[in-house]
Structure 1
Amino acid sequence: MTTKPRIAVIVGTTRPTRWGVKPAEWIKGKIEQDGRMSADILDIASYDLPFFDEPASNRWMPSQNPQAVKWQRDLDQYDGFVFVVAEYNHSISGALKNAFDQAFNEWNRKPAAVVGYGGVGAARAVEHLRAIAVEVHMVNVPSAVHIAGGEFVRVHPLGGVEDDISAIEDKLNTNAMIDDLYWWTDALKTARAATRAEAA
């Protein structure tokens, strides 16, 4: 029996007032509803990661900080990732960049999908994230979900019109993103298994 690919939905902000948990829970539910993959939420706020201060990336040597090692071990269990991204001054949050920097091997040869939110759907932050993902040898999923403009205001607490993202689903690229995520996750999981078998 084939095990379903496992997806980690990563909440990309840590502020007490953040909204990102809401879209993280929503996209986790959509992935599980699709049925081809399982999904968990990884909240970087719960890891208490220090600013990266290792002698080098774990690409080159093992990390020493126990929080970083726990983060790496948790990431390693997953076959693909969905990053829930807010835009801070045209880029991703410092906390999310630091979370990327605290690992390398665990991102390697796995897909990176994105749910961005904000006035422009975090479009500029998503472009930065995609460049980072390439550097840690991930594959960017082409389709993304951008919760933007009027739809964002409708479901964000500042707008106060709706409390459920499902109210705007018809405006989002959700099915295309999940289809692309599954294709890349399945393909890369198969390829990684073949590489391990060849090396054994």
Structure 2
Amino acid sequence: MIRIAIVLGSTRPGRLGKAVADWVSSRASERGDATFDVLDVADFRLPLLDEPLPPSLGRYSQPYTKAWSEAVDGFDGYIFVTGEYNHSIPGALKNALDYLYKEWNNKAAGFVSYGSSGGIRAVEHLRGVAAELQMADVRAQVALPLATEFVNYRTFIPTAAAETTLQTLLDQVIAWARALKILRPDHAHGKEDASAA
């Protein structure tokens, strides 16, 4: 079974992203073609990147890095839930991405964003980061403008259009995650987990 992580990128108190991630998780759990778990960056309390060696070496020294690595590594794809901060992604999300490398490689990535312009500028930056980390980003994107998807700019109530677009995003992420599996060493050397057999 394909495993997808819903990565909640904002760590601010009162963040709007929590309601968005919960919605993605709820809709995703109704499907039978993959399993989904929420990875909340806030739960890992990562300081600004402080590993002495480049992440591409995979030689981590800090316990929080090892915990983050273990959490991220077991998934076949990711749906990033991100706000837009100053035309880009939250610093906490960028930092969390920068901590790792191989854990992200050859996996699918999709984006659910929110903000005054739906978070589209944040995702434009995030696509470039994902490409450098060798993630394959899907075309579909759920962009949630504060004026139309949040009552009084605070309470998240997704429109029918958002609901439809989310299903398209899920379809694409799952399909790409399945297709990319063959590129990863664990699959290529016959070390697939028992659930995939």
After TM superposition, the score normalised by the length of structure 1 is 0.88
Question: Which residue matches 2:55?
Answer: 58
Identity %: 36
Deviations, residues 98-151 of structure 1 (Å, cap 9, x unaligned): 000111111010011110011111100001001000111111111111111532
Structure 1, residues 11-59: CA drift from partner, whole Å, max 9, x if none? 1100112111111011111112122111111111111111112123231
Deviation of residue 155 (structure 1)? Answer: 7.5
TM-score (norm 2): 0.89
Q: Supply the distance in 1 between the matched residues of 2:72 and 2:82 (Cα, whole angstroms).
A: 18
Q: What secondary structure does 1:52 align onto?
A: coil
Corresponding residue SS for 1:24: helix
Structure 1 residue 190: Cα displacement? 3.5
Paired amino acid for 1:63: Y
- Residues 62 and 17 of structure 1: CA distance in aligned 2, closer, same or farther (over 3 Å): same
Change (3 A) 1:5 1:61: closer
Q: Secondary structure at the match of 1:59?
A: helix
Is 1:51–1:98's contact at 8 Å kept on the other side of the alignment?
yes
| Local SS of the residue matching 1:13 | coil
Q: State how far apart, in whole Å, the 2-side matches of 1:155 and 1:28 are.
A: 23
Aligned to 1:189: 181
Which residue number corresponds to residue 123 of structure 1? 120
TM alignment of 1:164-183, pairs within 5 A: 164-165=157-158, 168-172=159-163, 173-183=165-175
Match of 2:195 in 1: none
Amino acid at match of 2:190: A
Task: Look up the equivalent residue of 2:113 and give its one-letter code.
Answer: G
Structural RMSD (CA):
1.8
The DSSP-based 3-state class of the residue aligned with 1:189 is helix
Higher strand share: 2
How many residue pairs get aligned? The number is: 189
The match for 2:46 among 26, 49, 63 is: 49
- For structure 1, the residue ranges without an aligned partner over 5 or more in a row are none
Runs of at least 5 residues in structure 2 that lack an aligned partner in the other structure: 192-197
Partner Cα distance (1:107, 1:147) in 2: 25
| Aligned with 2:130 (options 133, 144, 166) | 133
- Cα separation, 1, equivalents of 2:100 and 2:133: 9
